[in-house]
Amino acid sequence: MKPEERIIQLTQELIDHNRRYYIEDNPIISDYEFDRLMKELSLLEQSYPSLADPNSPTKRVGGGVTKDFMSKSHRFPMYSLDNSYSLEDVKEWINRIKKRLSQENKDEVFELSFCCELKYDGASVSITYKNGELIEAITRGDGTQGDDITTNVRTIKTVPLKLKPPFPKDFDIRGEVILSRSAFDELNQKRQLKGFPVFMNPRNTASGSLKLQDSSEVSKRNLDCFLYGIVSDNQIYHSQYELLQKTRSMGFFVPDHSALCHSVEEIESFIQYWDKKRRSLNYEIDGIVIKVDRVDLQKELGFTAKSPRWAIAFKFQAEEVTTELNSVVFQVGRTGAITPVANLTPVLLGGTIVKRASLHNADQIDKLDLYFGDTVTVEKGGEIIPKITGVKKEMRKRNSIKVSFTKECPECGSTLERPEGEAAYYCSNHLRCAPQVIGRIQHFASRKAMDIDGIGDETIAQLVNEGLIRDVADLYQLEYHRLISLDRMADTSVNNLLEGVEKSKSKPFEKVLFGLGIRMVGETVAKKLVKSFPTIDALFSANLEALSEIPDIGLKIAESIVSFRNDKANITLIERLREFGLQMEKVIEESVQVNSVFTNKKVVVSGVFSSFSRDELKSKLEGLGAIIQSSISSKTDLVIAGENMGPSKLQKAESLGIRMLSESEFLEML
């Protein structure tokens, strides 16, 4: 047999044996025989390197070294899930779904089914397959981009390198990389024998393992990957439950602890069963994921800025411990908000040592009725952030001193202010209060904002403390001869910093807007604002009513924008940034036809379409310069009406005299 033929034969045999052993738990050859075949393939690949396959079974043992993990954009966003902590939350979510579907489709009665799955506590990953072969793997990151960890993921034995047919031609599959309890214990035992410090918990160990530079070390960690969802340009499956069965047959590791539920009672039964049984599993779960089963209804429901409307996570009650409150410190954030933080006697909670816990605000301190030295109960909110949930008042010591909220800024001594209707107190000295100045510049330079390479948080603090910068515009006036004289600044680091600052001038307008740090204007809100107001001048000229009408903005955010633009210091800052060459208007892509009949028209899309999904149609309209609205109002210019448009929307459009286009009329206009 020719070498290339034997390599193909061995590759297929080993893939099949690997699937039988790790996925199906049904091996048909001994470990010795498996190792013999693997060695033969490895020797052939060494002798004929041009015949080696990047997805060869030999890649499981690793060997590739990644010095820097390149950031890559996700082909499809990785959304996070909304959390619920009670069955009432789940019921309310189901009612919202039914209401939304009935508004869009008045004539259809929805008998909803839900796919319930375990919520694995690991590190999220997205893996791309084309023509049945693994192409790349990316961490979740911020949901829009993450780190390329392909080399390390190839070492995970429960991730198929080649799929068993039939399979879709091109798709991304999402999952959680986890470390089983038994593998975690075995790893720590080996570390103890070598005198190394032990790891604290499986989740953090799994996440850290994915970023090890040497993939051969990753292969020794015995990671697993549980897959649970597919995204693609085309609809591949009709239901989530079907998706789980089909992906399992392709060779993916999909645990069979899922159920198709047809009522709240069945969902409750599933939750209660696994709340009791979860500790008997060989891996950690922190809740149950509940998804609308029908994929067409998932598309109908769509997404909010952060989460799918068709799925929710029910979180199990968090672990709780008791410890002693030693002191309270007050921290100043970049917006001037004062956050109280409790210093605690160190205690083990959820696999990590907890020394500090958030007290949120003055109202929370009063509600808890805290005294120094109190014995307090602590849990991890959402099993992530430690928080004090109660006080053992019967254990309170005599002559204890009550905890009270500070009246002055702990950094600059300014009197605090509490805006009407808000829970937080703020330091109003935003121009000279050092933590605010440093925080604003750190936010501006951060990855999600201007992404300035070569300037970390410590460097920014140093530059502020040395008096070289006082605001974000000062970054663009930094000079080599001033920087090189600072501690820990060498020629390379100074040049990298200046190069990073210069490159940031090309960042798009929405990044600049987010980087300004306007209260309540996060990354998603900034994008929405730029869609409606493509220049800084248009945005800052808009009145409160115009700002409030933008979908998902609301009065509070609009008031925050108006307050920001009414501050002369902020307008001066904007003008300085403009002079330095930062982008203060949206760059219109070639695909956007600014002179189309839809340019700047406020359009509502409703009903079902045969040529597009609703999301595709909205994207098409945005490409033609339209402004998409979620509901019909007197400001709406046009409605694109598909089949089964809701009667209430139809009636409102007709009563307001708004022009309506059918799908065929829209296509003719194109």
- HSE-up (13 A, CA, CB side) for residue 542: 21
Using a 10 angstrom Cβ sphere, with 0-12 exposed, 13-18 middle and 19 or more buried, the burial of residue 568 is exposed
370, 459 contact by CB (below 8 A): no
**For 338, phi and psi rounded to 5 degrees?**
-100, 120
DSSP reduced 3-state for 321: strand
> Which structure tokens are listed for 459?
């460097």
Contact 601, 659 (CB under 8 A): no
322 vs 379: CA distance, rounded Å: 9
Pick from 461, 573, 441: nearest CA to 501: 441
Q: How far is CA 119 from CA 271, 291, 480, in A?
A: 11, 12, 51
CB atoms within 10 A of CB 667: 12
Closest CA to 472 of 589, 607, 576, 360: 576
Active site annotation includes 276: no
The answer to whether 303 touches 143, Cβ cutoff 8 Å, is: no
Count the residues in the chain.
670
Q: What span, in angstroms and rounded, lies between the C-alpha atoms of 495 and 455?
A: 11
* Active-site residue, from 59, 72, 119, 162: 119
- H and E: helices and strands count for the chain: 24, 22
Residue 317 exposed, middle or buried by CB count within 10 Å (0-12, 13-18, 19+): exposed
- With helix as H, strand as E and coil as C, how does 575-640 read? HHHHHCCCCCECCCCCCCCCCCCCCCCEEEEECECCCCCHHHHHHHHHHCCCEEECCCCCCCCEEE
Spatial separation of the C-alpha atoms in residues 114 and 164, rounded to whole Å: 28
Task: Give the C-alpha separation, 212 to 63, whole Å.
Answer: 12
Report whether 239 contacts 294 (CB < 8 A). yes
What residues are labeled active site?
A: 119
